[in-house]
Structure 1
């Protein structure tokens, strides 16, 4: 037997806008006392709930339990921008793409994850949180346009459709003349990330048991795995860890996971007069030509701006950091929407991303009957879903061919030794964001 004490547990601060605009959550169950199950899943985000749903399909008679340290939707799953992207999206690159062979495989697997989520949206009536709208890439500079031309050439080589847009076409959509050109790709789903994950949990609750606000303090691995919290414990023969970067908190993939935070601000509701002044369409999502630029989403009468990455090796951010970066959001917002003046932001938040130096996921069986899915490299909605559902297939021994493909992928590379990481990672992020220039 081996004991894995949690060195950290998730403790996200500040209410994300996606969670804040939902109706108040229903009452939840905290893990208390001793329980038994056939499966325990630690982590109730996109990976954890995808694993739970897939298990409920594969072994419907088994007892499946999900434990989350916070409320479902409060943590990282409800703090992203909500883009479920089918195409290559390499944040560390200059134009999002990789090799053609790798990217074709990635597109096929991403689309399988999107279809899995789509069937859940249909099953549980979550279509309002899951819209097949496609995504826009917007360039504000000649540098950005050059990146988009490279991206479009890459898509042509992959035989993937896209539409090239000029400044006037983008203004008609966004209401702003900030962008000088862009690219539209049709396959992305625009999710309300907290709404979708909360709805998925509610839909699954008739088939699985969910404990919230129950941080796991230790995992004892043996013939029966024992998962403990401050007030209770669950024993089960099979364990799935879907805690993304907090895999390292349990002693797995140590010194192989890169902990980064990104930040967002959401406006108060725009008045009818302000919406008329802005113009444009009511719902759209735009990512920057340069991966380090600003992502913008409009959801009816609100606008979300997201930018800035920070290296936070302790897996936490602070009010001070969020406030400082919020000022950068305000500058980015004013540059794009000067017609709206000093627009107050109702919500500001940060969210934890887990990356690896070689963009590889943490996936597989790490101990006997202990399975993991994490390190989503900034694509938690789609790749979390993908590796969550494949972890379930792996754990039950199904013949899903994508499991073998996932197992053939590289594992996260070892990080550089200290103090190179603590010095180099922030400098690298600073240089990449400075390169983005006006795109930020």
Structure 2
């Protein structure tokens, strides 16, 4: 019996969660249950896997287990960018090998298509908008990144528009940036609203249990998942819990639980909206990976996301929040001096599962144990598509995308502690320091 030594415990003030439509959580599991399939993690990956397993095996029961509440965890804490384009930060032109980039693009587009169809079919109110994204730079180094990425997009044959700083206020209201690269294929969503809607539209042969953290696992002939209130016995287990997959005994020392921090303002008044100008709904990602991500939301709030920490146990450190909220305030004031009295209502953290080689895992982990893990910051599209395709593969289906995922080498090993924490923390410190005005 394997003891699960660390469990999710996210901080309480996620703005996306609190400003999305409330829902009634499903009750925790209690007693003894048996099913052919068990899926751990009701984020984008787990919801997609459970849905597709239920559709592929309509006579089987699928048990979906969530340690917290749907929409409260990692999937409801990102910036809400469902991105289509590959962005390999290890390549000079951010595209790299063209064959890999084309396969990645196909995967991301399929993830978008799956979500778009589900949102339409089930009328999920998540403010999904095909508004594209702006990748913006203020310093010379950031402008060089945009130029390199533009060359990569030319190689990939993808559309973009270069927008000079003087024209950016008409798009995003602020004159802070020198240049931006607009790509039209990104879809913006309210992530907590989306994940809540996906959970409430699951097929009837999926049983969802929330607030059911698994504390012990027995990998015998059957998989036995124990928690404080009972046990779940399954023929087959799918892990869709990203870095927490390491706590279940797999992919040890491969995934880095890195936390990002965000703040969301109160809604802008009509006068403040007029002062800001620009389009009513947009998203900005930074040219520098350590810079600030921004969004103007459907309810006229401004999101600011920056600052990183490495938390090896996968759990947030709430004492970081006031410090990073001050950074968010400084970033906001630099970009929006016309909005001096707009305060933040929410500040929160959200984790990323990153790997050193920017690759995830897809396939079999052990007899009767499977996983789609390590989304490397692309959880909305990549989590959705890998969860769906894993369920298709388990049903005996094959496709170009499944074969591509199965052929991927997976995340590579990281150094042991304490060298890992020293190296990651030094990298995060230096990256944030040299980001300069981009942060």
Q: Shorter-chain TM-score: which interval?
A: over 0.9
The answer to whether the aligner puts 1:364 opposite 2:391 as a matched pair is: no
Instruction: Provide the residue aligned with 2:209 in structure 1.
Output: 211
- What CA distance in whole angstroms lies between the structure 1 residues aligned with 2:254 and 2:332? 35
Post-superposition shift, 1:91?
A: 5.2
Report the 3-state secondary structure (helix = DSSP H, G, I; strand = E; otherwise coil) of the residue aligned with 2:351: strand
1:278-427 alignment runs, 5 A limit: 278-300=276-298, 301-427=300-426
Deviation at 1:15, TM superposition (A): 2.2
Task: For residue 283 of structure 1, report the CA deviation from its aligned partner.
Answer: 0.6
The two structures have a TM-score, normalised by structure 1, of 0.96
- 1:7 is aligned to 5
Secondary structure class of the residue paired with 2:283: strand
Distance in 2 between the 1:110 and 1:79 partners?
A: 20
Using the alignment, how far apart are the partners of 1:152 and 1:218 within structure 2? Answer: 49
Where does 1:33-44 land on structure 2 (aligned, <5 Å)? Answer: 33-44=31-42
Contact kept in structure 2, 1:9 and 1:215, CA below 8 Å: yes
The corresponding residue for 1:110 is 108
More divergent stretch after superposition (22-31 vs 349-358): 22-31
* 1:38 alignment partner, SS class: strand
Deviation at 1:27, TM superposition (A): 4.2
- The reply to whether residue 185 of structure 1 matches residue 164 of structure 2 is no
Change (3 A) 1:169 1:127: farther
TM-score (norm 2): 0.96
- Flag the 1:319–1:163 CA change in 2: closer, same or farther, 3 A: same
2:62 maps to which of 57, 61, 64? 64
Match for 1:30 among 28, 31, 48? 28
Decide whether the 8 Å contact of 2:307 with 2:324 is kept in 1.
yes
Q: Cα distance 1:419–1:95, how it changes in 2: closer, same or farther (>3 A)? A: farther
1:74 counterpart = 2:101: no
SS in structure 1 of the partner of residue 168 of structure 2 = helix
Whether the 8 Å contact between 1:172 and 1:280 is mirrored in structure 2 is yes
Between the two proteins, the alignment pairs up a number of residues equal to 438
Tell whether the 8 Å contact from 1:393 to 1:400 is kept in structure 2 after alignment: no
Asked whether the 8 Å contact 1:93–1:291 carries over to 2, the reply is no
The offset of 1:128, in angstroms, is: 4.1
CA distance in 2, matches of 1:290, 1:303: 20
- Corresponding residue of 2:435: 436
CA separation of 1:294 and 1:157: change in aligned 2, threshold 3 A: same
Q: How many Å separate the matches in 1 of 2:156 and 2:65?
A: 40
Q: Using the alignment, how far apart are the partners of 2:91 and 2:244 within structure 1? A: 25
Q: Secondary structure at the match of 1:339?
A: coil
Contact 1:334 1:342 (C-alpha < 8 Å) held by counterparts: no
| CA-CA distance at 1:434 after TM superposition | 2.2
- Give secondary structure in 1 for the equivalent of 2:291: coil
Q: CA RMSD in A?
A: 1.5
Unaligned runs of 5+ in 1: none
Residues 54, 203 of structure 2: 8 Å contact kept: no
Q: Which runs of 5+ in 2 are unaligned?
A: none
Q: 1:70 Cα shift?
A: 0.4
Partner of 2:239: 241
Secondary structure of 1:71 counterpart: coil
